[in-house]
């Protein structure tokens, strides 16, 4: 038993102390994976069980002012991360082909590491997106894509902060922050009410932008297969499949949300031109009898 405990202790020490970046390892929520995983576990329990059960016999919360303030703060954080990522690296010293992590204690290296850490904290606060959906009874918004994204991103960004806070992989966070600037701005306007209705047309373009970011992330991460700069090549085992999977999920969402309604509208127009009503029961025999009856009356 003692030998087993020693093995577990050594493994834990190896994974979460020795391999960790000493500059970030003592930062809040980074030292151990347990606090972060506990938050995610409680989040899933609330979203899937506790929240719906609590709201079952209650009216949905409105939270208009809360949503405006929350989305505004998310925009500010995303702007800061986006600016830091460009100014501290990608527009100045970083290589677009292959960029290693600077593990030194220089102000520039610490600045990048801090940006990665703030990005991680932002992913944790974004769990509130789903909490607000639950208490506002917006269950249709809680899709598999939504849950997968909000569960996986905090874990990925935690790992980046603990082990590789900088370098090649940070471009994904910079692009994602840019997308979130636009996305949370849209949500903020949507929360302000109908008078901002003209801004709602952004939604489908935000989804397109998200798909573009995953294409860029895939191509950018793929460069690690050809260039060696010290950044871990094994990271492509996570980044490439994840980029493909995210792209597929967002494309599926885009098709179901925007393409299908357009096809249904087009088909409905064709049916009207052919003298048929755009009705979901067409083809089951009921409406066919009605149309035949109408034709007899016309004759």
140-173 confidence digits (pLDDT tens): 889 998 999 999 999 999 999 999 999 999 999 9
Structure tokens that stand for 139 in this block: 């269950």
Number of independent structural domains in the chain: 1
Task: Give pLDDT, residue 289.
Answer: 33
Return mean pLDDT, the chain: 87
CB 63 within 8 A of CB 132: yes
For the ranges 107-121, 232-246, 273-287, the maximum mean pLDDT occurs at 107-121
Q: Which residue has the tokens 């991460």?
A: 221
pLDDT interval class at 256 (50, 70, 90): confident
Query: Rounded CA gap, 299 and 296, in Å?
Result: 5
Question: How long a stretch of residues is the chain?
Answer: 299
* pLDDT at residue 285 greater than cutoff 80: no
Structure tokens that stand for 224 in this block: 């690690």
- Candidate from 219-223, 228-232, 238-242, 291-295 with smallest mean pLDDT: 291-295
Query: Rounded CA gap, 243 and 235, in Å?
Result: 12
Which residues are identified as catalytic?
Answer: 149
Positive or negative, the CA dihedral 65, 67, 70, 74 is negative
3-state secondary structure of 232: coil
Number of helices (H), then strands (E), in the chain:
12, 0
Query: Rounded CA gap, 233 and 281, in Å?
Result: 55
Task: Give pLDDT, residue 9.
Answer: 85
* pLDDT at residue 280 greater than cutoff 50: no
For 19-64, the DSSP string reads SS-TTTTTSTTTS-HHHHHHHHHHHHHIIIIIHHHHHTTSPPP--H
Q: Which long-range contacts (CB under 8 A, 24 or more apart) does 199-204 make?
A: 204/254, 204/257, 204/258
Positive or negative, the CA dihedral 154, 160, 166, 167 is negative
Task: Give pLDDT, residue 3.
Answer: 55
Q: What is the pTM of this model?
A: 0.85
Task: Give pLDDT, residue 193.
Answer: 84
Structural domain boundaries enclosing 166: 2-298
CB 71 within 8 A of CB 188: yes
């Amino acid at each position: 038993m003692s030998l087993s405990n020693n093995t577990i202790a050594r493994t834990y020490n190896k994974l979460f102390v020795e391999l960790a970046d000493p500059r970030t390892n003592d930062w809040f929520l980074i030292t151990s994976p347990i606090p972060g995983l506990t938050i995610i576990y409680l989040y899933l329990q609330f979203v899937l069980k506790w929240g719906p059960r609590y709201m079952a016999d209650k009216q949905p919360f409105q939270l208009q002012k809360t949503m405006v303030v929350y989305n505004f703060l998310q925009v500010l954080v995303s702007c800061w991360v986006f600016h830091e990522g460009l100014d501290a690296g990608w527009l100045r010293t970083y290589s677009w082909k292959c960029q290693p992590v600077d593990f030194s204690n220089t102000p520039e290296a610490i600045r990048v590491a801090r940006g990665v850490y703030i990005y991680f904290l932002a992913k944790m606060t974004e769990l509130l997106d789903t909490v607000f959906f639950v208490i506002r009874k917006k269950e249709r918004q809680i899709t598999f894509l939504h849950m997968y994204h909000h569960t996986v991103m905090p874990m990925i960004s935690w790992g980046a902060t603990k082990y590789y806070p900088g370098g090649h992989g940070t471009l994904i966070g910079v692009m994602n922050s840019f997308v979130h600037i636009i996305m949370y701005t849209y949500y903020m306007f949507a929360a302000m009410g109908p008078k901002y209705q003209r801004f709602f047309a952004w939604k489908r373009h935000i989804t397109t932008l998200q798909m573009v970011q995953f294409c860029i992330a895939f191509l950018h991460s793929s460069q690690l297969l050809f260039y060696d700069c010290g950044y871990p090549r094994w990271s492509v085992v996570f980044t490439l499949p994840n980029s493909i999977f995210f792209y597929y999920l967002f494309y599926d969402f885009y098709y179901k949300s925007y393409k299908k309604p357009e096809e249904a509208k087009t088909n409905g127009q064709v049916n009207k031109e052919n003298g048929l009503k755009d009705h979901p029961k067409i083809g089951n025999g009921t409406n066919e009898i009605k149309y035949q009856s109408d034709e007899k009356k016309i004759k």
